[in-house]
Amino acid sequence: METKQDRVILGEGCIYSTDSSKTQLNNNVVVCGGSGCGKTMSISEPRLLETNNSSLVITLSKRRLVAKYRPLFKKRGYNIWDLNFVDPAKSNIAYDPLAYVHSYTDIVFLAESIVMANPKKKNETKADPYWDMASVSLLSALIALVKHTKRDACFTDVLELHAGMTLDGDAAIETSLDKKFEQLGKKDPNCFALSCWKTFKRTPMRTAGCIFSSLNATLDTIFSPELRKMMAMQRKVDFRQLATEKTILFVSTSAVNPALHCFVNMFYGQMFKDLFEYGERRVDGILPLPVHVLCDDFATGSTILNFPQMISVFREKGISVTILLQSESQLESMYGTNDATTILNNCDSYVYMGGMDIKTARAVSERLDMPVNDILHMPIGKEIVFRRGQKPVITERYDVQRSRLYQKVTREYEEAMARGER
């Protein structure tokens, strides 16, 4: 008989409640394991099977999981959203970054998310932050202008505005958008859009040209023609509906397209911010329905803006994440040593599934008080589960294929495939 209480399965004999009020732990989980160690079958699929009373957002690169688990969640009364960044035309819902902008703070957050999502930033940790700040000011000005002047605007309007922008002048910058901002300034001399625009206009012409070109390259990298079409779809993801109605959101991305990772991480940044602020506005400060986010290949592509700060307050809002990594070194290369440590320290559950990364093996050996070689040579199929306040457990990878529910879901999926229904 199918259980109705949400649980988290981390390994054989390691099945835990997700009721934080009882466990006194957060539901954040880090899973470290090399490629092919079985993170999908032993962590991701059990999480799908065990989700009954909370909303779930899952990033995946294996489309078969969408077709396989859609009927299960339909039977459980879930809203089923399919956000396909690989093939946007097949999505039943859209993500438009502009749809979640309601304040000046939101404008700056979105602009910063986009500028910092550029995959080239990964290798530019010593670059002068001035260039990023200037790009954020320019993009903030464009976003604010569109919000001020167009009803039911879409982010494609911002992209078109930027694409049509030209620079000229010697001593001072002259642009094709000057008149638009002048008209806006006549109505409100202190408006936010004009303030950001003036910041950009004060830069020397040569510098402004570099800023403009850099932003242009970032936008072209992240926003493909297919994604631009998807953003214009009428039905948009409602983050707050995740927190009020049982919903599963499948987010499909590609393991070999870094630009899509940038877009997905920008999506996550807005989602976490919107959910947090919704919880803050409630009397009890907690989301009506818990929201869990399962992040595959978490430390690839780009960083999620402010994630190390946000994860520290997830528990009090009813938000939690499962982060799948190949190694701790991978996380550190994306977020830096201090932020990577913050992320790890805010996950009360940690699963090590083996791998060849020496730094990760050393960290695990210290936690377990075991020689590093024993960690590096751990047999395939073995894993180590750490839970805050409990002794570590050395166990076997969870064999989901023994689950009757998994067998039923798999059988129905294979039969539907044979009939050509999915």
Cα gap 221→139, rounded to integer Å: 15
195 and 326, same domain (yes or no):
no
26 and 71 together in one domain: yes
Q: Which of 228, 255, 280 is the last residue of a domain?
A: 228
Count the domains in the chain: 2
Distance CA 270, CA 286 (A): 18
Residue 21 domain-assigned (yes or no): yes
How does strand 29-32 pair with strand 349-352?
parallel
Residue 410 domain boundaries: 7-76+246-418
Looking at the whole model, is its pTM more than 0.85? yes
- Three-class SS state of 320: strand
Domain boundary residue, one of 163, 198, 228 = 228
Q: Are residues 217 and 182 in the same domain?
A: yes
The verdict on residue 306 lying in a domain is yes
Q: Which residue, 68, 97, 10, 87, is CA-closest to 348?
A: 10
**Using alpha carbons only, how large is the chain's radius of gyration in Å?**
23
132, 168: one domain: yes
Residues whose CB falls within 8 Å of the CB of residue 5, separated by 6 or more in sequence, listed in order: 17, 19, 52, 53
Residue 261 lies in a domain: yes
- Please check whether residues 66 and 148 belong to one and the same domain: no
Q: What are phi and psi of 13, to 5 degrees?
A: 75, 5
Judge if 269 and 407 occupy the same domain: yes
Query: Does one domain contain both 142 and 173?
Result: yes
pLDDT tens track, the chain, 422 positions: 344 679 999 999 999 999 998 999 999 999 999 988 999 999 999 999 999 999 999 998 888 999 999 999 999 999 999 999 999 888 999 999 999 999 999 999 999 999 987 656 554 555 567 778 889 999 999 999 999 988 889 999 999 999 999 888 666 678 889 899 989 888 888 899 999 998 888 888 888 888 998 899 889 888 988 889 888 887 899 999 999 999 999 999 887 777 788 888 889 999 999 999 999 999 999 999 999 999 988 877 678 989 999 999 999 999 999 999 999 999 998 899 999 999 999 999 999 999 999 999 999 999 999 999 999 999 999 999 999 999 999 999 999 999 999 999 999 999 999 888 76
In a domain, 238, yes or no: no
Written as six digits, the tokens of 203 are 């830069």
**Which class for 392: exposed (0-12), middle (13-18), buried (19 or more C-beta within 10 A)?**
middle
